[in-house]
Amino acid sequence: MNSSAATVAPRRLVVTLSRIAAAVLGGYVFVWGLVALSISGLAAFGMDYDQAWMLAMLLAFLVYLVVFIWAFAARRLGLVWLVLLCGGAAMTMGAQLLVSD
Amino acid sequence: MYQTFRQSMTWLHTWFGLVLGFVLIVVFFFGALSVFDREIDRWAQPATRFAPQPMPSFDHLLRPVFERITEPDPDAVELARSMVDGPLPEKYPVMDWSAYTTHRDPVLDTYVSFDVPNARNPDDHVHGHQTIDPRTGAQLSASDLKIGSEFFYPLHYSLHLEWMELGYWIVGFAALSMLAALVSGVVIHRKIFRELFTFRPQKQRQRVTLDLHNLTGVVALPFHFFFAFTGLVIFAGIYFPVSETQLRPLVEAHEQAEAAATGLPHDPAGVAAPLASVDAMVSDARRRWASRGMGGDVGFLFVNHVGDANGYVSIYRAGTDRIALTGQGIHYQASTGALIREDPPETAIASVNEFLTGLHLQHFRHWLLRFLYLFGGLAGCVCIATGFLFFVEKRKQQHARDGVAGARIVDALAIATITGTLIAALSMLVANRLLPEHLADRDEWQRNVFWMTWLASGVHAFWRSGFTQEGGAAPAWREQTLLVAVLAVAAPILNWLTTGDHLLATLETRYWPVAGIDLFLLATGVTASLIAHRLRRPALAHAHLATMKP
């Protein structure tokens, strides 16, 4: 542990910053996708836009909180990034398809 | 990054709590004050110390007021500069008029929306506003700052950082971190129920600090969670602007469909039309509410597409007797006064949303709950403040040995955000009473006193916290607490000298807005004096703990 302290410290800083970024930015991308997809999806099923918007926003911050905590608790940081970015991008694209429909 | 879930939650709690805690304590403190924003306004504006008024006659009083608001406020014109590419428009066409009041408002805020013809986003508009005495229609001076509702309240949610809505984002991020800190805090302190009943003031300082941190965190846990969560929901449109961006086409389709379904025109017709008697519409709306067994106070009055054939008038019932801010809207054609539509009962989702946001904003009448909000907010301040102190106490000996400044920096920032915030707010009230009544830009002077005294307290905190770096206690705590005591007692005395409304008079006439603020200021002064006295004795090691009490 002592001998590797010098090399471990910068690496640990990078990992920590990556986790913070995953929680804050990755989480934001994921929740954006979720909000966009749930509003456009519910609207496509005939729900009033304002109603869909309110429902999505009531859930948005609870989901954000869950993925935020998960980003710090998860063993595999790569998986966190993968799920949040790819999930967020997929949902955002799904919403885009529904909007341009 | 750590071996166990609990370790990762400890890391999250410590570092997010520390960094965002400095924002959160400001948000909690000014949120607590905002619960009594109207009352602080009365204290700061002696000319408005009269009873709350109902919505006045539109035809005789409000209409001339709206008609004399012919251009946007100066700061709105500044805002318009960021909306257009070329020069500012010569003229801003009037779009709509509105007025909002609650059961605690003697004065009335009237607003006019103006179109910005050459704005990049055609939906952009700017506002002009006047605060009036609803008994006469006379305008209150624009430089007569409403310290409660125009300064402390916006500070609570925007930090007065309007550029790019930066303040809203910082506060929103702090609120999300608050939620994460609450969840991780519960994970760290597993014996959560026991902590409800644990406070050992005779133990060593670090233990007492932690006890108080846990106690205030756990007792008010549902309160803290609720307010951080609903605060985010209230500004959800800023944090996730999907409606203005990605989902814009859906919104446009929805607005057209809604206009067709409700009969409320989305756009002006471009044909001039007169305005029928709005007072007659208000009486009709009152009759309709009464037929449903509801009280008839008008809370929000809205005239859309002013002077146009598509114009309509919306009248909403005040939110005095229920959680939602306004409701039971009834809409009339502006030119004829004919009924267009009565809003149907709210859907389940809208009711939940109105309940959550309305409970946060509390415009309804419930004084017991109002006081619980105040104490909940202050408990939040104690929780965050003791978090800082625990951080410092736990590390300062080690930092002193290692020659690291960490504990001192945190201690100085804690002083600046705990006693410093109090000093800034109290100095603003003192300045409000001392500045000459007809001083030009009186509102700017008051704002500057607030920011300058806050800055000075921060500088003082860094200057007088050297002992913390050596493992001792910073003299800045006691010095600033003394200043809090002096200012908190000076404010009610100055109120007496400048307005004649001393405490005996306001108590006798039961004028609670001013009597209550004076009493609260005096209680702050007495508490701060007692704490400053205890901080004189370094032998009482744990005494500096008590400085969190506002």
Express each pLDDT in B294-332 by its tens digit.
Answer: 987 999 999 999 999 999 999 999 988 888 887 899 999
Helix (H, G, I), strand (E, B) or coil at B470: coil
Per residue in B59-73, is it b (16+ CB within 10 Å) or e — as a string?
Answer: eebbbebbeebeebb
The total of other beta-carbon atoms located within 10 Å of residue B157's CB is 19
Which one of B11, B183, B240 has the shortest CB-CB distance to A57? B240
Q: Using the predicted structure, report yes or no on whether residue B150 has a pLDDT greater than 50.
A: yes
**More confident of the two residues A101 and B479:** B479
Residue A7 is predicted with a pLDDT of 64
Residue B322 is predicted with a pLDDT of 86
Residue B295 is predicted with a pLDDT of 82
Residue of chain A whose Cα is closest to the Cα of B7: A73
pLDDT in tens, B152-197: 999 999 999 988 899 999 999 999 999 999 999 998 887 766 666 7
The answer to whether the Cβ–Cβ distance between B242 and A68 falls below 8 Å is no
Residue B163 is predicted with a pLDDT of 85
Residue A60 near residue B240 (C-beta atoms within 8 A): yes
Token couple for B356:
């959550």
The answer to whether the Cβ–Cβ distance between A99 and B347 falls below 8 Å is no
Greatest mean pLDDT range, B82-91, B264-273, B532-541: B264-273
- The stretches of B292-328 forming alpha helices (DSSP H) are none
DSSP B547: G
For tokens 């002083």, the residue is B415
Task: List residues of chain B with CB under 8 Å from any CB of chain A.
Answer: 1, 5, 8-9, 11-12, 173, 176, 179-180, 183-184, 229, 232-233, 236-237, 240, 242-243, 246-247, 249-251, 254, 347, 349-350, 352-353, 356
- Looking at every residue in chain B, the average pLDDT score rounds to 92
Which one of A39, A64, A72 has the shortest CB-CB distance to B247? A39
Distance from CA of B228 to the nearest CA of A (A): 10
Closest by alpha carbon to B181, among B214, B159, B230, B158?
B214
Cα(B95)–Cα(B416) distance, integer angstroms? 45
The answer to whether the Cβ–Cβ distance between B176 and A61 falls below 8 Å is yes
A93 touches chain B (CB under 8 A): no
The answer to whether the Cβ–Cβ distance between B180 and A40 falls below 8 Å is no
The answer to whether the Cβ–Cβ distance between A58 and B254 falls below 8 Å is no
Residue B211 is predicted with a pLDDT of 87
**In B, which residues are within 8 Å of A15 by CB distance?**
1
The least confident of A66-75, B2-11, B30-39, B89-98 is B2-11
Cα(B155)–Cα(B171) distance, integer angstroms? 10
Residue B550 is predicted with a pLDDT of 40
**Chain B interface test: which of A14, A49, A51, A81 (most B C-beta within 10 Å):** A49
Distances (CA, A) of B377 to B362, B381, B418, B524: 14, 6, 14, 15
Residue B481 near residue B543 (C-beta atoms within 8 A): no
pLDDT in tens, B94-140: 999 999 999 999 999 999 999 999 898 888 899 999 999 999 999 99
Q: Give the contacts of B188 (CB within 8 A, at least 6 positions apart).
A: B6, B9, B10, B13
DSSP B148: I
Cα(B54)–Cα(B75) distance, integer angstroms? 29
Residue of chain B whose Cα is closest to the Cα of A96: B246
Residue of chain A whose Cα is closest to the Cα of B238: A57
The total of other beta-carbon atoms located within 10 Å of residue B125's CB is 19
The answer to whether the Cβ–Cβ distance between A65 and B236 falls below 8 Å is no
| pLDDT more than 90, % of chain A | 86
Q: Using the predicted structure, report yes or no on whether residue B255 has a pLDDT greater than 90.
A: yes
pTM of the model: 0.93
Cα(B355)–Cα(B124) distance, integer angstroms? 29
Residue B542 is predicted with a pLDDT of 43
- Name the band, by pLDDT with cuts 50, 70 and 90, for residue A11: confident
Token couple for B247:
């989902």
Residue B346 near residue B327 (C-beta atoms within 8 A): yes
Give the CA-trace dihedral at B38, B43, B47, B53, to 10 degrees. Answer: 30
Residue B541 is predicted with a pLDDT of 43
**In A, which residues are within 8 Å of B254 by CB distance?**
43, 48-50
Residue B359 is predicted with a pLDDT of 95
Mean pLDDT of B211-235: 94
Residue of chain A whose Cα is closest to the Cα of B4: A73
The answer to whether the Cβ–Cβ distance between B350 and A12 falls below 8 Å is no
pLDDT in tens, B411-463: 999 999 999 999 999 999 999 999 999 999 999 999 999 999 999 999 999 99
The least confident of B141-150, B375-384, B426-435, B512-521 is B141-150
The answer to whether the Cβ–Cβ distance between A55 and B5 falls below 8 Å is no
**In A, which residues are within 8 Å of B176 by CB distance?**
61, 64-65, 68
- Looking at every residue in chain A, the average pLDDT score rounds to 92
What DSSP string describes B28-85?
Answer: HHHHHHHTTHHHHHHHH-GGG-S-------IIIIIHHHHHH--S--HHHHHHHHTTBS
**In B, which residues are within 8 Å of A72 by CB distance?**
1, 8-9, 11-12
3-class SS string, B370-439:
HHHHHHHHHHHHHHHHHHHHHHHHHHHHHHHHHCCCHHHHHHHHHHHHHHHHHHHHHHHHHHHHHCCCCC
The answer to whether the Cβ–Cβ distance between B240 and A55 falls below 8 Å is no
Residue B472 is predicted with a pLDDT of 84
Which one of A12, A60, A68 has the shortest CB-CB distance to B180? A68
DSSP B87: S
The pairing of strands B125-132 and B326-333 is unpaired
Which one of B243, B246, B353 has the shortest CB-CB distance to A96? B246
Residue B8 near residue A72 (C-beta atoms within 8 A): yes
The total of other beta-carbon atoms located within 10 Å of residue B81's CB is 10
Cα(B333)–Cα(B474) distance, integer angstroms? 67
Q: Using the predicted structure, report yes or no on whether residue B487 has a pLDDT greater than 50.
A: yes
Distance from CA of A39 to the nearest CA of B (A): 9
The answer to whether the Cβ–Cβ distance between B250 and A99 falls below 8 Å is yes
Residue B547 is predicted with a pLDDT of 44
Cα(B51)–Cα(B307) distance, integer angstroms? 34
The least confident of B149-153, B237-241, B296-300, B372-376 is B296-300
Residue of chain A whose Cα is closest to the Cα of B12: A72
Q: Using the predicted structure, report yes or no on whether residue B539 has a pLDDT greater than 60.
A: no
**More confident of the two residues B45 and B200:** B45
Mean pLDDT of B8-31: 96
Token couple for B199:
């406070």
Residue B537 is predicted with a pLDDT of 62
- Name the band, by pLDDT with cuts 50, 70 and 90, for residue B207: confident
**In B, which residues are within 8 Å of A25 by CB distance?**
none
- Name the band, by pLDDT with cuts 50, 70 and 90, for residue B3: confident
Q: What is the CA radius of gyration of chain B?
A: 26
- Name the band, by pLDDT with cuts 50, 70 and 90, for residue A3: very low
**In B, which residues are within 8 Å of A37 by CB distance?**
none
| Strand ranges inside B308-390, DSSP E | 312-318, 326-333, 339-342
- Name the band, by pLDDT with cuts 50, 70 and 90, for residue B540: very low
Which one of B9, B246, B251 has the shortest CB-CB distance to A36? B246
pLDDT in tens, A36-47: 999 999 999 999
Residue A12 is predicted with a pLDDT of 87
Distance from CA of A49 to the nearest CA of B (A): 6
**Which amino acid does the sequence have at B430?**
V
Q: Using the predicted structure, report yes or no on whether residue A1 has a pLDDT greater than 60.
A: no
Q: Using the predicted structure, report yes or no on whether residue B545 has a pLDDT greater than 50.
A: no
Residue B134 near residue B108 (C-beta atoms within 8 A): yes
Residue B451 near residue B424 (C-beta atoms within 8 A): yes
